[in-house]
Amino acid sequence: MVIALAPLGSAMVEGWSRRDVELRSRLVFRSIRDQVAAGLVAPPGFDLAPFFERLSEDERILGLGFCTEAGTLRYATKQWPKAISCASLKRDRTDSFATVTDQGRRIHVSVFPIAAGPVTGHLLLLHDLAFADERARDARFYTMLSVIGVAAGLGLLALAMVLALQRSWVRSVRTMVADMRTGGVLDAAPSGDSPLGRELHGLLEELRVERTYAEGIHVEWSPKTLHRLLMEELPGAEVLVVSNREPYIHNRVDGAIALQRPASGLVSALEPVMRACGGTWIAHGSGSADRDTVDRNDRVPVPPGDPTYMLRRVWLSDEEQDGYYYGLANEGLWPLCHISFVRPIFREEDWRRYKAVNERFADAVVQEADRDDPIVLVQDYHFALLPRMIRARLPRATVITFWHIPWPNAETFSICPWREEIIDGLLGSTILGFHTRFHCNNFLEAADRFMESRIDREHASVTLGGHETMVRAYPISIEWPPSALEGQAPVADCRAAVIDRFGLPPDAHIAVGVERFDYTKGLLDRIHAVDDLLGTHPEWRGRFVYLQAASPTRSKLGAYSALQAETVRLAEQVNARHGSDDYTPVVLSIRHHEPTEVFEIFRAADLCIVSSLHDGMNLVAKEFVAARDDEQGVLVLSSFAGASRELSEALIVNPYDTRSMASAIDAALRMSTAEQRERMHLMRDMVRQRNVYRWAAQMLLDAARLRKRARILAGAA
């Protein structure tokens, strides 16, 4: 019996250990995937080997390496076993695992496919299985010792207990996995509370958290999921959103009141979150009929027809609007943070208006808050001072500030005359979010340089005046599935409708661009690229049309009105150079476009061009991907848009390089349907998993953790 049970216990431990390693390998891969991908497309001379060496300092990780698609081993760590080569391993499009013996030592090899733009291959992660052998030996020893100590007459009883324990383990593990898949919390370890059980419990919980915060795998992020998480993690919490732009605008048109959804990435991202969470959205009432539609407390329930939250409007005078919005925010901070080569303008009067308007919104937050510890989501560069003002009025509030535009390096930000006041205002936040880790690092650098603060780079936080602010990257996204996709006609019908509406050639290849007239979006650069394409590839004349849907914006500012005029002038020049009586290569549609019309344009297009000169994220890129449920179409995407960090299957371009962008457009037009489908499938899967509900959940769950920690510390005190 001893001889029979010892191998059984060893085999069980061996199986658990192997799954332990596989789970751990997946966690390591997901945590370093973005850094590895960035390294693969880095300029020549960049070496991933030092990064791999640091990771291999882990006592179980034996080594890391990267196999190219051609089977060449690159960036391997110094202690790479000779017995392991790219050719000897199974490499396909899914994760795979193998065990290799090298000089009597067993090595577990995990192979993960990875793609970074044009570079594809596989990341190899090696684990030394010596610990598994040691576990197996311990299992054999204790099994033999326990069986020998039991009388022969109790042998059958012992076997029954082992089988019962095994069944209990299976039930416990199944329960944990089920909890993990539904987003639940793992409360207890498997029965018996053995070291192996505790380790498995910890790994499953770690995987659950990693999936929730990073990948969203097996979690269908939706309004229902977000609402459930809010109820579970923040029961009874009051959610307030503050932004300059309101989600619904009432305008008077021909004597009647018309409802308009603004062309705003911020609104597109936040509105579905508020529909899921409820609460109050505080914003500037800018519509000509906005005052006619609110109650005596300046509130109106929205969305119209099916209200789920309240919109509170704040009224600003023309002078306040000129100084706060057009002045300091959009003539000063906007060009400063976008490094757009448009000189920022800073006026003392604008600064006074900016501070006064921030105070007005802080008062509105206090008026709308029904409790002293609300969760306040402060949005964008219009309200840099607001977090500190809210903190002074509501010390127990959880203030989550999200900066929707880039944050420049400290040298560039030093141009701002009120840099210290702006940073101090933002550090009133509980959590300060940016689109990318790069922007987080720039902010930490600025805080370190200009403020007498304590920077904790390991935990990415800044402590000023005894208050700690967490600085985190939360890549914003869109709702999934997009509401604008509901009721859309088939792609062929959308294409026919767009061709008819804009008078395009019936067999034309259609490229589209959709954005506001803003000098950061690179509209002129892409029209120059179209000009270059038609000049270097005349075969596309008569067969290619670029359709630009552009909404006028900030027309009171000279830089914006000048851009619109220059865009029209450049389009006319290109049309005169390459067009004819029955062919117009560049078509401009200058007006507001509703989301459903935008999605129809996306579905009609062969490619979408996003050529931002500098951008926080750019949701147009993600909306185009979401619109293509036929998995066709090509995205040409600027490397200076935050979306390029996530949508690596797009054709990534430098918008300042006209010839290169023209070549990318040509490549997109010639791309096979099979390649389009493969690229689009991966991008759609990414946008589906990392949708706006996941974005909001990350911030709210981080806030929940901080609120729980604060309660624990308060209780201890």
pLDDT digits (tens, 9 = 90+) for 499-517: 999 999 999 999 999 998 8
Higher pLDDT, 206 or 248: 248
Q: What is the pLDDT of residue 192?
A: 44
Question: Domain 233-473 - what CATH class?
Answer: alpha beta
User: 323 near 355, Cβ under 8 Å?
Assistant: no
Min mean pLDDT across 110-124, 350-364, 576-590 is at: 110-124
pLDDT (0 to 100) of residue 665 = 98
Q: What is the pLDDT of residue 202?
A: 47
* Average of per-residue pLDDT across 12-31: 79
The CATH code of the domain at 489-684 is 3.40.50.2000
The three-state DSSP-derived secondary structure of 163-182 is HHHHHHHHHHHHHHHHHHHC
**Which range (207-211, 319-323, 633-637, 689-693) has the least confidence?**
207-211
Instruction: Please say if the pLDDT value at position 573 is more than 70.
Output: yes
Flag whether the pTM goes above 0.85: no
Task: Give the number of other CB atoms < 10 A from CB of residue 193.
Answer: 10
What is the 8-class DSSP label of residue 348? H
- The average pLDDT across 523-552 equals 96
The structural domains of the chain, with segments of one domain joined by +, span 2-149, 233-473, 489-684
- Give whichever of 69-83, 133-147, 257-271, 643-657 has the largest mean pLDDT: 643-657
Using one digit for the tens of pLDDT, what is the confidence trace for 392-413?
Answer: 999 999 999 999 999 999 999 9
454-456 vs 256-260, strand pairing mode: unpaired
**pLDDT over 60 at 332, yes or no:** yes
> Which residues pair with residue 121 across a beta bridge?
68, 114
* pLDDT, tens only, 644-653: 999 999 999 9
Nearest to 67 by CA among 46, 40, 44: 40
Residue 346: its pLDDT value, please?
96
User: What confidence score (pLDDT) does residue 334 get?
Assistant: 84
> What pLDDT is attached to residue 123?
87
Is residue 201 over pLDDT 60?
Answer: no
Q: Reply yes or no on whether the pLDDT at 12 is more than 90.
A: no
Q: Is 341 helix (H, G, I), strand (E, B) or coil?
A: coil
Distance CA 72, CA 91 (A): 12
> Contact 252/334 with Cβ under 8 angstroms?
no
Looking at CATH, the fold of the domain delimited by 2-149 is given as Beta-Lactamase (3.30.450)
Q: pLDDT, tens digit, for every residue of 45-78?
A: 777 888 888 877 776 788 888 888 888 888 888 8
Same fold, 233-473 and 489-684: yes
Higher pLDDT, residue 275 or 644: 644
